A and B are shown apart, each in its own frame.
Chain A
Amino acid sequence: MAVTNNTVIRQITSTRRSLSAPERRAGYGMLIPGLLVIAAVTIFPIIYSVWMSLNNISLTTNGYLMSFAGVHNYNLVMHSAKFWHSVWFTFYFAVVTVFVELFLGMLIALAINGVERLKNISIVVMLIPWSLITVISAQMWQYIYNGVYGVLNYIFISLHLIGSPVTWLGSATSAVIAMMVADIWKTTPFVVIIILSGLQMVPKELYESVHLDGANAWHTFWNITFPMVRGSIALAGLFRILQAFGMFDLPYVLTQGGPGTATQSLAVLGAQVMFQNLDFGPGSAVAVSTVILVLTLSLIFLSAFRNLVREGEEQ
């Protein structure tokens, strides 16, 4: 019996294998073109970036000359106060804005969850900042923050919050906060939408059962709602932070990295070194260092995130 069964199984698997050969061929045929495009524009240039960062590079009329320089460029970068300032600025800007966005997003989503009227229009309005060109929002905020005729000064003076006009983008601290506000304004609605759709997946019966148990709002939130949406919040936060590490548009237009270098993100610094000073070697070293930072961070986050999800599943 066992022998016949085995033969039958072998026969079945062999026919399946012969049937799946064209499927496999078609599979690779349809997959590879897309992967080649991705590889050509991302993977190969990243590897080439690493190579460029190890060379001295000078531009010629139609090309460039490279001579191997070892870790010379990295030495320059690692000893540059400007670089470390950019790392620190990019890092805390990302952490603070993403934290505020998630916190505000959670509060607002909880407050408006279950609102029936205005639902469609709200979603459209919340999507507008997401689809807005960052350059436009930067110009808009620059006009609002203007120290002479900006409307923010007018509002704050009318409310007696300040006595005389403030040049918001003129001092380091207020420029950083102003930029954070612009970023939070643009991204919080997006976070609200994500959390809102997470909340809508929480079964209503769960709430009803705790309600009968006489739990208060805080208990309901902490024991029912939060564990259910924790995964999607963590994921959204992770991606937002990683994305914030590439931040370029907002500082480039709103403050040009200033005043001084107060709001110079890693990408703005890298672009300046490469495309204004035409120092492609050190510029590539900045770019590669940014990638290493992002990779390290995502590994740390991913392992933390895995624990978080596992914890959630065990409960």
Chain B
Amino acid sequence: MIEAKWKTVLRYMVLIGFLVIILLPFYWMFITSFKPDFDLGAYPPSLFPHHWTFKHYVDAFTQYNFGMYIRNSVIVSIVSTFFVLMFASMAGFSVAQLPVRGKTPLLVALLVISMFPSIAIMSPLYMLLRHLHWLNSYQALIIPYTAFNLPFAIWILRNYFLQLPKALLEAGRVDGASIFQTFYRIYLPLTTPGMFTAAVFTFVASWTEFFMALTFNQSNTMRTIPVGIALFSGQYTIPYGTIFAGSIVSILPIIVLTIIFRKWIVSGLTTGAVKG
């Protein structure tokens, strides 16, 4: 089917227009982070900075502890991702390949749980963490992040394990390997794409989570990036320059991740279509 030329041109125009609309606010944030203070509240705003300054980037790290927020976010996100992969790969394998009962109700229940608004568990978890003196600690976030991302990861990995033949299990048994060894040595390496997908989704969800991080870890030294950025405050004005400098720094690693893993993100979105 050969399309008229004007139709193709129209398609490209829509695409480019759409991409520009997505990127424009980022452009604004980007140049604002380089504008000197007196330019931030100027009207009319300059659409391109006349003087470039790195002051806000320096401020973010020296005055506002942004380095610490990044460190907290990295630790919480990476450890949560590790635990999710560990539990979800075993559970996904079990549901896909082994004879456990009640698979269908279990999978539906997981789906329902992953849709629960986090406000539902906020007060009991807060009470529990307070009682254990775990408020303002890494585990206060790692444990809930692991639990909240597990259902989706189990779903994704189950779908990948389902595509592998059950005969591999037989082969492992003939070779005298235990079921766990067969899982670990034979099945797991074959589901690397699924592991990437689950990892990226968990990492991004932990990196962006705000509600629990704000409620459980408010002390300045334990804040993650979203909490840090939300609670940045100046003495008289909102320090947008510093806020956006910090934002740009925290967006960059995620963009790199997105570029590297885009194939797996898209496959996760289409098989799951669950997370937003």
Q: Which residues of A approach B to under 8 Å, CB–CB?
A: 20, 22-24, 26-28, 30-31, 33-35, 37-38, 40-46, 48-49, 52, 62-64, 108, 111-112, 114-115, 117-118, 120, 122-144, 148-151, 153-154, 165, 185, 187, 189-190, 192-194, 197-198, 204, 207-208, 211, 232, 235-236, 239-240, 242-243, 245-246, 248-249, 252-253, 266-267, 270-271, 274-275, 280, 283-284, 286-288, 290-291, 294-295, 298
Interface SS majority for chain A: helix
Asked if A134 and B25 sit within 8 Å, CB to CB, the answer is no
Partner of B116, one of A46, A114, A137, A192: A46
Q: A46-B120, A112-B15 are in contact. Are A197 and B270 (CB under 8 A)?
A: yes
Q: How far does the Cβ of A185 sit from chain B's closest Cβ, in whole Å?
A: 7
Q: Which residues of B approach A to under 8 Å, CB–CB?
A: 1, 10-12, 14-16, 18-19, 21-23, 25-26, 28-29, 32, 40-45, 47, 83, 87-88, 90-91, 93-95, 98-100, 106, 110, 112-113, 115-128, 130-131, 143-144, 146-148, 150-151, 154, 169, 178-180, 183, 204, 207-208, 210-211, 214-215, 225-227, 229-230, 238, 240, 243-244, 247, 250-251, 254-255, 257-259, 262, 265-266, 269-270, 273-276
Asked if A239 and B115 sit within 8 Å, CB to CB, the answer is yes
> Whole-angstrom distance between the alpha carbons of A44 and B45 in the complex?
52
Q: A41-B125, A141-B25, A280-B123 are in contact. Are A298 and B90 (CB under 8 A)?
A: no
Q: Give 22 A-B contacts (CB < 8 Å), ordered by A residue.
A: A27-B100, A33-B90, A37-B146, A38-B113, A42-B147, A43-B113, A63-B130, A112-B18, A129-B22, A133-B210, A133-B225, A140-B247, A143-B29, A149-B43, A193-B269, A211-B1, A242-B115, A243-B115, A245-B117, A248-B118, A287-B122, A291-B116
> Whole-angstrom distance between the alpha carbons of A114 and B15 in the complex?
11
Asked if B123 and A283 sit within 8 Å, CB to CB, the answer is yes
Taking CB atoms, residues of chain B closer than 8 Å to A120 are: 262
> Whole-angstrom distance between the alpha carbons of A48 and B128 in the complex?
11
Q: How many A-B residue contacts, CB cutoff 8 Å?
A: 299
Asked if A20 and B1 sit within 8 Å, CB to CB, the answer is no
> Whole-angstrom distance between the alpha carbons of A242 and B121 in the complex?
16
Of all A-B residue pairs in the complex, the 3 with the closest CB atoms, nearest first, are: A246-B117, A27-B98, A41-B147
* 5 extra A-B contacts, CB within 8 A, seeds A48-B124, A115-B11, A280-B123: A33-B90, A132-B254, A139-B243, A139-B244, A149-B43
> Whole-angstrom distance between the alpha carbons of A232 and B273 in the complex?
8
Asked if B266 and A31 sit within 8 Å, CB to CB, the answer is no
Asked if A23 and B99 sit within 8 Å, CB to CB, the answer is yes
Q: How far does the Cβ of A175 sit from chain B's closest Cβ, in whole Å?
A: 17
Q: A111-B14, A122-B15 are in contact. Are A22 and B121 (CB under 8 A)?
A: no
Asked if A248 and B270 sit within 8 Å, CB to CB, the answer is no
Q: How far does the Cβ of B80 sit from chain A's closest Cβ, in whole Å?
A: 11
Asked if B41 and A149 sit within 8 Å, CB to CB, the answer is yes
Taking CB atoms, residues of chain B closer than 8 Å to A298 are: 112, 115
Residue of B nearest to A39 (CB): B147
> Whole-angstrom distance between the alpha carbons of A63 and B130 in the complex?
7
> Whole-angstrom distance between the alpha carbons of A274 and B95 in the complex?
38
Asked if A23 and B210 sit within 8 Å, CB to CB, the answer is no
> Whole-angstrom distance between the alpha carbons of A45 and B225 in the complex?
26
Residue of B nearest to A35 (CB): B91
Q: How far does the Cβ of A306 sit from chain B's closest Cβ, in whole Å?
A: 13
> Whole-angstrom distance between the alpha carbons of A249 and B90 in the complex?
33
Taking CB atoms, residues of chain A closer than 8 Å to B14 are: 108, 111-112
Asked if B254 and A140 sit within 8 Å, CB to CB, the answer is no
Asked if B125 and A151 sit within 8 Å, CB to CB, the answer is no
Q: A125-B19, A143-B32 are in contact. Are A248 and B179 (CB under 8 A)?
A: no
Asked if B98 and A288 sit within 8 Å, CB to CB, the answer is no
Q: How far does the Cβ of B6 sit from chain A's closest Cβ, in whole Å?
A: 13
